[in-house]
Structure 1
Amino acid sequence: MNFTVTDLSLMLPEIFVLSMACIILIVDAYLPERLRDLTYQLSQGTLVGAAILTLGIQPESSMLLMSDLFISDAMSVVLKSFVYLIVFAVLLYSRAYLHNHKLFCGEYFVLVLMATLGMMVMISAHHLLTLYLGLELLSLSLYALVAIQRDSSQASEAAMKYFVLGALASGILLYGMSILYGLTGTLELSEIAKAIATGQIEPQLLSFALVFIIAGLAFKLGAVPFHMWLPDVYQGAPTAITLFIGSAPKLAAFAMVMRILSEALPDLHHDWQNMLIILAVLSIALGNIVAIAQTNIKRMLAYSTISHMGFLMLGLLVAKPDGYSAAMFYTIVYALMSMGGFAMLLLLSRAGFDAENLDDLKGLNTRSPWYAFIMMVIMLSMAGIPPFLGFWAKWAVLSQVVAHGFIWLAVLAVIFSVIGAFYYLRIVRLMYFEEPSDTAPLQVNTDMHLAVSVNGLAILALGILPQPLLQVCIQSIS
Structure 2
Amino acid sequence: MTFVMPNFSLALPELWLFAMLCVVLVVDLFARGKESAPAFYLVQVTLLVAMWLAVQAQWGENVVDFNGTYAADSLAAVLKVAIAAFAFLAFAYSRDYLRQRGLLRGEFYLIGLFGVLGGFVISSAANMLTLYLGLELMSLSLYAMVAFDRDSRIASEAALKYFVLGALSSGMLLYGMSMIYGGAGSLEFATIAQAAASGDDNLLLGFGLTFALVGVAFKFGAVPFHMWVPDVYQGAATPTTMFIGTVSKIAAVPLFLRLIAGGLGELHGDWQVMAMMVAVASLAVGSLFALVQTNFKRLLAYSTIAHIGFLFLGFIAGNDEGYAAALFYAISYSLMAAAAFGMIIVLSRRDDEAERIDDLSGLNDRSTGMALVMLLVMFSMTGVPGTVGFYAKWAVLKAVVDAGHVWLAVVAVLFAVISAFYYLRVLKAVYFERIEGHAHAVPASTAVRWVCGLNGAAILALGIFPGWLFAVCRAAFAG
Match of 2:404, SS?
coil
Question: Following TM superposition, by how much is the alpha carbon of 1:32 offset from its aligned partner in structure 2, in angstroms?
Answer: 2.7
Q: Given the alignment of the two structures, is residue 408 of structure 1 paired with residue 426 of structure 2, yes or no?
A: no
Question: Following TM superposition, by how much is the alpha carbon of 1:39 offset from its aligned partner in structure 2, in angstroms?
Answer: 1.0
Q: Return the letter of the residue paired with 1:355.
A: A
Rounded Cα–Cα distance in structure 2 between residues aligned with 1:78 and 1:218? 22
5 Å-filtered alignment, 1:372-451, equals: 372-436=371-435, 439-451=439-451
Question: Following TM superposition, by how much is the alpha carbon of 1:2 offset from its aligned partner in structure 2, in angstroms?
Answer: 4.8
CA separation of 1:203 and 1:35: change in aligned 2, threshold 3 A = closer
Q: Given the alignment of the two structures, is residue 81 of structure 1 paired with residue 81 of structure 2, yes or no?
A: yes
Question: Following TM superposition, by how much is the alpha carbon of 1:469 offset from its aligned partner in structure 2, in angstroms?
Answer: 0.9
Q: Return the letter of the residue paired with 1:71.
A: A
Question: Following TM superposition, by how much is the alpha carbon of 1:35 offset from its aligned partner in structure 2, in angstroms?
Answer: 5.8
Match of 1:64, SS?
strand
Question: Following TM superposition, by how much is the alpha carbon of 1:107 offset from its aligned partner in structure 2, in angstroms?
Answer: 1.1
Deviations 1:263-294 (A, max 9, x none): 10011000000000000000001100000111
Identity %, equivalent residues: 47
Alignment partner, residue 333 of structure 1: 332
5 Å-filtered alignment, 1:146-161, equals: 146-161=146-161
Deviations 1:294-314 (A, max 9, x none): 111110000000001111111
Question: Following TM superposition, by how much is the alpha carbon of 1:10 offset from its aligned partner in structure 2, in angstroms?
Answer: 1.2
5 Å-filtered alignment, 1:304-315, equals: 304-315=303-314
Q: Given the alignment of the two structures, is residue 248 of structure 1 paired with residue 247 of structure 2, yes or no?
A: yes
In 2, are the aligned partners of 1:193 and 1:266 still within 8 Å (CA)? yes
Match of 2:64, SS?
strand
Alignment partner, residue 49 of structure 1: 49
Match of 1:351, SS?
coil
Alignment partner, residue 99 of structure 1: 99
Q: Which runs of 5+ in 2 are unaligned?
A: none
In 2, are the aligned partners of 1:224 and 1:306 still within 8 Å (CA)? yes
In 2, are the aligned partners of 1:247 and 1:335 still within 8 Å (CA)? yes
In 1, are the aligned partners of 2:35 and 2:104 still within 8 Å (CA)? no
RMSD: 1.3
Question: Following TM superposition, by how much is the alpha carbon of 1:82 offset from its aligned partner in structure 2, in angstroms?
Answer: 1.4
Question: Following TM superposition, by how much is the alpha carbon of 1:454 offset from its aligned partner in structure 2, in angstroms?
Answer: 1.1
Q: Given the alignment of the two structures, is residue 455 of structure 1 paired with residue 458 of structure 2, yes or no?
A: no
Alignment partner, residue 268 of structure 1: 267
Question: Following TM superposition, by how much is the alpha carbon of 1:59 offset from its aligned partner in structure 2, in angstroms?
Answer: 5.1
Moved more, 77-86 or 414-423: 77-86
Question: Following TM superposition, by how much is the alpha carbon of 1:443 offset from its aligned partner in structure 2, in angstroms?
Answer: 3.0
Aligned length: 476
Alignment partner, residue 293 of structure 2: 294
Alignment partner, residue 211 of structure 1: 210
Rounded Cα–Cα distance in structure 1 between residues aligned with 2:293 and 2:8? 49
Q: Return the letter of the residue paired with 1:151.
A: D
CA separation of 1:351 and 1:203: change in aligned 2, threshold 3 A = same
Rounded Cα–Cα distance in structure 2 between residues aligned with 1:352 and 1:22? 35
Q: Given the alignment of the two structures, is residue 134 of structure 1 paired with residue 128 of structure 2, yes or no?
A: no
Q: Return the letter of the residue paired with 1:458.
A: A
In 1, are the aligned partners of 2:58 and 2:76 still within 8 Å (CA)? no
In 1, are the aligned partners of 2:223 and 2:305 still within 8 Å (CA)? yes
In 1, are the aligned partners of 2:348 and 2:444 still within 8 Å (CA)? no
Deviations 1:312-371 (A, max 9, x none): 111001111111111111011011110111001001012122111000000000000110
In 2, are the aligned partners of 1:51 and 1:84 still within 8 Å (CA)? yes
Q: Given the alignment of the two structures, is residue 163 of structure 1 paired with residue 163 of structure 2, yes or no?
A: yes
Question: Following TM superposition, by how much is the alpha carbon of 1:141 offset from its aligned partner in structure 2, in angstroms?
Answer: 0.3
CA separation of 1:272 and 1:250: change in aligned 2, threshold 3 A = same
Rounded Cα–Cα distance in structure 2 between residues aligned with 1:430 and 1:3? 63
Question: Following TM superposition, by how much is the alpha carbon of 1:446 offset from its aligned partner in structure 2, in angstroms?
Answer: 3.0
Moved more, 427-436 or 159-168: 427-436
Rounded Cα–Cα distance in structure 2 between residues aligned with 1:322 and 1:124? 20
Alignment partner, residue 284 of structure 1: 283
In 2, are the aligned partners of 1:364 and 1:436 still within 8 Å (CA)? no
Match of 2:68, SS?
coil
Moved more, 129-138 or 47-56: 47-56
Match of 1:34, SS?
coil
Q: If the length of structure 2 is used for normalisation, what is the TM-score?
A: 0.97
Moved more, 302-311 or 53-62: 53-62
Alignment partner, residue 5 of structure 2: 4
In 2, are the aligned partners of 1:334 and 1:390 still within 8 Å (CA)? yes
Q: Which runs of 5+ in 1 are unaligned?
A: none
Q: Given the alignment of the two structures, is residue 465 of structure 1 paired with residue 465 of structure 2, yes or no?
A: yes
In 1, are the aligned partners of 2:345 and 2:444 still within 8 Å (CA)? no
CA separation of 1:426 and 1:3: change in aligned 2, threshold 3 A = farther
